[in-house]
């Protein structure tokens, strides 16, 4: 939400003029025409009115309901620092709306002895002015897809962790077991489980729980780097297991183990180059 607020401050004059023009062009009996206003202007979240003694005299009119229980309540604390301009308007600083949890501003217009209060969704205003690219339906669809995908990854990660734990327990309480083979299986399962869970956590945190309107170039690379590190660790463990098994059973297959070691080493070198170049460049850009 910090991104939205900063963008609003950058284009404050344009956004304010857009909202004020919409309110000026609407019928002056805002409460009577509230349903029409909310339907016409998507950025409006709610409308209500307050008299000159700062008592609420109308229900809070939202898109889905009209709340009458606040009628007659004292709104003086909201108007203590109210400074109207020459046209009778006041625009608040950006804040997080208590109903929607989204960045919002409140516009107050005084006509005669009545104050009309309009809560406006900043994201919707910025979208209508083409200052951000945001589509709520598309965003919700992406959230559902990411949620399902990350949920499946979490299930796979848990399955791997439980399997690793099962193999570890069977080493001590099972019957005929291959100690080295089973212990390495347990380690590999646990390592892959942690790697996949970490990937799922990153997706949940950045695409489902929190969404940003700016693109962080380093985040995706760092997630990929951490995932590759976990995979390489699992491969190294698997390589050691193969080397030990060949050394104990069939020395003729040692060449295969040697090529496996070379392949794993190449992956480590590639990962080191990846960190040095791509992530290093991104971090320099961030500092600038």
Question: H-type helices in the chain, by residue range?
Answer: 2-10, 12-25, 34-40, 122-128, 136-173, 179-203, 217-249, 254-274, 280-287
Q: What is the pLDDT of residues 217-260, one digit of tens each?
A: 566 676 677 777 777 877 777 777 777 777 767 667 777 778 88
pLDDT-based confidence at residue 156 (cuts at 50, 70, 90): very high
* CA separation for the pair 256, 235 (Å, rounded): 15
Rounded-to-integer distance, Cα 151 and Cα 148, Å: 5
- C-alpha–C-alpha distance, residues 121 and 132, integer Å: 13
- Cα–Cα distance for residue pair 204/208, rounded to 1 Å: 5
CATH 1.20.140 maps onto the chain at: 136-287
Give the separation between CA 209 and CA 135, rounded to whole angstroms.
17
Q: How far apart are the C-alpha atoms of 68 and 146, rounded to whole Å?
A: 39
Mean pLDDT of the chain: 82
Residues of the chain with CATH 3.30.450.20: 2-128
Type and span of the H or E element at 50:
strand 44-50
Query: Distance (Å, rounded) from C-alpha 97 to C-alpha 136?
Result: 17
Q: State the DSSP string of 222-249.
A: HHHHHHHHHHHHHHHHHHHHHHHHHHHH
pLDDT digit string, tens, across residues 60-77: 999 888 888 888 889 888
Q: CA 185 from chain center: how many Å?
A: 35
pLDDT of residue 219: 62
**Domain 2-128 -> CATH class:** alpha beta
What is the predicted pLDDT for the residue at 218? 63
pLDDT of residue 280: 60
**What pLDDT does 271 receive?**
82
Given pLDDT bands bounded at 50, 70 and 90, which one contains residue 279?
low
The dotted CATH code for 136-287 is: 1.20.140
Q: What pLDDT does residue 211 have?
A: 54
């Amino acid at each position: 939400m910090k991104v939205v607020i900063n963008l609003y401050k950058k284009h404050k004059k344009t956004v304010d003029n857009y909202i004020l023009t919409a309110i000026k062009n609407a019928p002056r009996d805002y409460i009577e025409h509230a349903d029409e206003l909310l339907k016409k202007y998507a950025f409006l979240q709610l409308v209500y009115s307050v008299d000159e003694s700062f008592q609420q005299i109308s229900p809070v009119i939202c898109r889905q309901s009209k709340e009458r229980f606040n009628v007659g309540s004292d709104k003086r604390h909201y108007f203590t620092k109210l400074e109207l301009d020459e046209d009778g308007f006041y625009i608040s600083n950006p804040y997080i709306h208590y109903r929607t949890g989204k960045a919002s501003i409140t516009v107050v217009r005084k006509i005669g002895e009545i104050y009309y209060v309009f809560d406006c969704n900043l994201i919707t205003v910025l979208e209508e002015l083409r200052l951000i690219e945001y589509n709520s339906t598309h965003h919700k669809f992406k959230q559902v897809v990411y949620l399902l995908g990350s949920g499946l990854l979490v299930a796979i990660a848990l399955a791997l962790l439980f399997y690793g734990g099962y193999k570890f327990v069977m080493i001590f309480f099972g019957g005929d077991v291959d100690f080295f083979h089973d212990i390495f299986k347990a380690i590999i399962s646990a390592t892959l489980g942690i790697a996949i869970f970490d990937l799922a956590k990153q997706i949940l945190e950045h695409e489902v729980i929190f969404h940003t309107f700016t693109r962080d170039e380093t985040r995706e690379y760092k997630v990929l780097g951490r995932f590759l590190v976990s995979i390489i660790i699992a491969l190294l463990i698997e390589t050691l297991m193969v080397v030990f098994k060949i050394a104990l059973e069939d020395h003729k297959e040692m060449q295969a183990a040697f090529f496996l070691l070379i392949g794993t080493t190449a992956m480590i070198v590639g990962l080191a180059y990846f960190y040095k170049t791509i992530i290093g460049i991104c971090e320099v850009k961030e500092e600038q």
